[in-house]
DNA sequence: GCGTATGCTAGACGCATCGA
DNA sequence: TCGATGCGTCTAGCATACGC
């Protein structure tokens, strides 16, 4: 059986990650400003150790940032966490839990296995360590332990005496937050409004980077409706709308090379989106 | 002008060290 | 002993130098 690949999340303290994400919000596309801001959070430490060795890889593995070097910036999920965290600590955690649960569900499945299997948590951890690809058992254990620590700090797992179990109340809240059915009817309206606002901001250039519209739509859903739309959900919802209708045509632009977080549609990967309105009055 | 070599920078990751 | 921290090293990608 092919072993799972679980990356090592070196900076897994959620409160620290919140602070680091604020630096990314303050200094998008500004590596120097970003580096200085982050190093202030880690007194007297080296750029290589903290910035390049811990923060960047961890945030990238969690899908919270995009780009390299001067292009480093928040992803839509990262931006959503920052917006929610500004509202309150609990709201920040609420969004973080949704993002973590989505990753766990896709790659690791600790939460599902903990619910499903009526076995001791340590046994579950041991069986996971055997199933993941890592240079050594020590490394595999470290990867699982860091992931478990994040789930504990997020409150999705709870420690009772020496046992770990699922925080059922919180998890049902996360499941509610990740329920896409409540978002379908609002999606089209929000999507076209955000497209229009980015279009105007770009001085009427119709071709928009998909990461930008993801960020705009996910933020709008949260601020207007208090709904969490993750990047994965955005992509699913976008795939669900008509690309050609009586009043508009949506075109997608291919990526020039290997890039991050491309939009997958009908087995192809796209980086940009543009909309031609046939009867502008109708839609906007 | 073109192709190759070399050096530098940034990102990623393994593992050593330290303290509880 | 184990978890937390961060240093050392490797690799990829890019820019520049150099030779033909």
In the numeric block, which tokens belong to residue A153? Answer: 């700090």
The mean pLDDT values, 10 residues at a time, for chain A of 284 residues are 73 87 88 82 77 86 85 90 93 92 83 71 74 74 83 82 74 93 93 95 90 95 96 94 92 74 83 84 47
Domain count, chain A: 2
Protein residue with the closest CA to the C1' atom of nucleotide B9: A69
Q: What is the pLDDT of residue A282?
A: 44
Asked if residue A159 and residue A22 are part of one domain, the reply reads yes
Chosen domain end from A175, A197, A214: A175
Bridge partners for A73 per DSSP:
A66
Q: What is the pLDDT of residue A284?
A: 46
Chosen domain end from A175, A207, A228: A175
Q: What is the pLDDT of residue A162?
A: 59
Gap from A68 CA to B5 C1', in Å?
Answer: 26
Q: What is the pLDDT of residue A16?
A: 85
Gap from A63 CA to B6 C1', in Å?
Answer: 35
CA distance A168 to A165: 9
Using CA atoms, how far residue A1 sits from A4, A132, A133, A156, in Å, is 9, 11, 11, 29
Q: What is the pLDDT of residue A248?
A: 92
Question: Does residue A6 lie within any of the structural domains?
Answer: no
Q: Are A220 and A198 in contact (CB under 8 A)?
A: no
Listed by range, residues with Cβ under 7 angstroms from strand B are A 7-8, 10, 31, 48-49, 51-54, 56-57, 60-61, 68-69, 72, 134-136, 138-139, 142
- Scanning every strand, the nucleotide with its C1' closest to A13's CA turns out to be C4
Q: What is the pLDDT of residue A166?
A: 77
A13 Cβ contacts chain C strand, under 7 Å: yes
Question: Does residue A202 lie within any of the structural domains?
Answer: yes
A139 Cβ contacts chain C strand, under 7 Å: no
Chosen domain end from A126, A150, A175: A175
Question: Does residue A7 lie within any of the structural domains?
Answer: no
């Amino acid at each position: 059986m092919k072993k799972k690949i679980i990356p090592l999340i070196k900076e897994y303290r959620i409160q620290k990650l919140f602070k680091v994400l604020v630096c990314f919000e303050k200094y998008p596309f500004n590596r120097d400003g970003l580096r200085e801001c982050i190093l202030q959070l880690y007194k007297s430490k080296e750029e290589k150790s903290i910035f390049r060795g811990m923060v960047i890889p961890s945030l990238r593995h969690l899908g919270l940032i995009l780009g390299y070097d001067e292009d480093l910036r928040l992803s839509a999920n990262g931006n959503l966490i920052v917006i929610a965290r500004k509202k309150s600590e609990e709201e920040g955690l609420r969004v973080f839990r949704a993002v973590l649960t989505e990753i766990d569900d896709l790659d690791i499945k600790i939460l599902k296995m903990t619910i499903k299997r009526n076995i001791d948590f340590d046994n579950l951890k041991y069986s996971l360590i055997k199933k993941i690809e890592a240079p050594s058992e020590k490394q595999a254990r470290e990867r699982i332990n860091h992931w478990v620590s994040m789930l504990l700090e997020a409150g999705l797992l709870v420690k009772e005496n020496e046992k770990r179990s699922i925080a059922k109340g919180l998890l049902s809240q996360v499941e509610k937050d990740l329920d896409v059915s409540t978002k379908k009817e609002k999606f089209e309206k929000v999507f076209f409004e955000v497209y229009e606002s980015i279009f105007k901001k770009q001085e009427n250039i119709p071709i928009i980077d998909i990461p930008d519209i993801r960020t705009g739509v996910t933020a709008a859903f949260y601020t207007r409706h208090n709904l969490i739309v993750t990047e994965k959900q955005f992509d699913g919802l976008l795939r669900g709308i008509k690309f050609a209708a009586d009043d508009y045509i949506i075109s997608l632009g291919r990526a020039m090379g290997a890039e991050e977080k491309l939009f997958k549609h009908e087995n192809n990967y796209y980086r940009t989106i543009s909309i031609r309105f046939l009867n502008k009055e109708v839609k906007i």
